Amino acid sequence: MSQVIDLFRKYIGIPSASKDGSFSKPSTPEQLTMALALEKDMRSLGISDVFNQGDGYVYGRVPANAEGQPKIGLIAHLDVVDNEPCAPMNERVIRYEGGVVDVGNGITLDPALYPYLENWKGKELIVTDGTTILGADDKAGVAEIMALSSRLIGDDTIKHGDVMICFTPDEEIGGSAADMDLKRFGADWAYTVDGGALGGVEYENFNAASARVRFTGVSIHPGSAKGRMKNASLMAAEFISLLPAAETPAHTEGREGFYHLVEMSGTPEQASLAYILRDHDAEKLGAKKAFLHTCAGFIRQKYGPECCEVSIKDGYRNMIEVMKDNMQVVSRALAAFEKCGVKPFSAPVRGGTDGASLSFRGLPCPNLSTGSINHHGRGEIACVQDMEKMVDVLTELVRAR
């Protein structure tokens, strides 16, 4: 196997799931173990200015061997999701000749549902035994950045400016970009290597908000409740029915936004609903927030002014607001793929990305593919040849112009 695959298989064998709701930084001690492993490997490869911040952030630099070049940053996160087991890791390499992929443990992937598999006929795929996730999100990106660094250090004929590296913790729970030390990082612009299928260049994402809707009822013995009981749980059910049924994640795609009910609880006296709201268009997201207040007003008018209240909190924003003035960063990535014989594509991210937060902090930062798909599940797959190709793409990305 190539160096990038050897590194990848090493890193996925180190459990490093983050955990939402934790009060520590990083959220799990396993991430510190992963950070130490990366620090050791970075020093071994000869990467300069290696700095382990002690909280899961690890920085480094591949020094320039050409003058007058920008300082290009590359970022990947060392944590994986905790919604599925990530250990013990029993990965294997299979050759794909078409048809359904039997991962194991009852997990199968049918090209009818995962059409991208057709692009991998004749290639080697890395899968698990179906009992864990693979961790390609984002240890594929970590391995590709490390393999690139090794290539640049070992081949002085590849001319490039400073390549700034940062591995971050807690990305899967939204806790990495805000605490990244951009001054220490020192890049003029950067790319997160944290995407999916080979060729992806992402520079649009959802605008995000979260909402909590609380209902207050009047609980009376059901035997004497007529005309007096106000059931908070039924108010919540009625509120749900007021929202457009076709604007949920299960009915939307592309740039279509949604209301997503993520939590509900209730008794006749008290009930609560939690939503996340998403839209690529900021004005449309604003309309969704306004409509929640309209629905709450209807409930109050029907059941009383104290019966329903809505609180809304804004989240991340669409990085296109920043990237539209920095499209040379995107163009450089597109050209790197094309130089390597890969047809690039761009699609709006139906989620968030560290690049969005970093872009609004003053570091333009689109997202690049890793050569893996089906993240966050036990059917996650990485392609050997596509990961190797990504190292070539990153080489072209940082090559001196």
In the chain, domain spans: 3-204+318-398, 207-314
What pLDDT is attached to residue 323? 96
Res 19: pLDDT: 94
Q: What is the mean pLDDT of residues 337-350?
A: 95
The single residue of 30, 39, 41, 79 carrying the catalytic annotation is 79
Q: Are 123 and 150 in contact (CB under 8 A)?
A: no
Beta strands in 225-298 (DSSP E): 258-266, 270-279
> ∠366-374-128 over CA atoms, to 5°?
125
Residue 178 is predicted with a pLDDT of: 83
Is pLDDT at 122 greater than 80 in this prediction? yes
The verdict on whether 91 is a catalytic residue reads no
Confidence of residue 220 (pLDDT cuts 50, 70, 90): very high
Active site residue 388: no
Q: CA torsion sign, 14 to 174 to 391 to 199? A: positive
Does domain 3-204+318-398 fall into CATH 3.40.630.10?
Answer: yes
* Active-site hit among 41, 144, 162, 171: 171
Tokens of 103: 């991962």
Query: If one looks up domain 207-314 in CATH, what number appears?
Result: 3.30.70.360
What is the pLDDT, as a whole number, of residue 199? 98
pLDDT band at 353 (very low <50, low <70, confident <90, very high): confident
Q: Give φ, ψ of 201 to 5 degrees.
A: -130, 110
- Rounded Cα–Cα distance for residues 349 and 220 (Å): 48
Instruction: Pick left, alpha or beta for residue 226 (phi over 0 → left; psi -120 to 50 → alpha; otherwise beta).
Output: beta
pTM higher than the cut 0.85: yes
Q: Given this model, what pLDDT does residue 1 score?
A: 77
Residues 185, 164 contacting (CB under 8 angstroms): yes
In angstroms, the CA 281 to CA 255 distance is 8
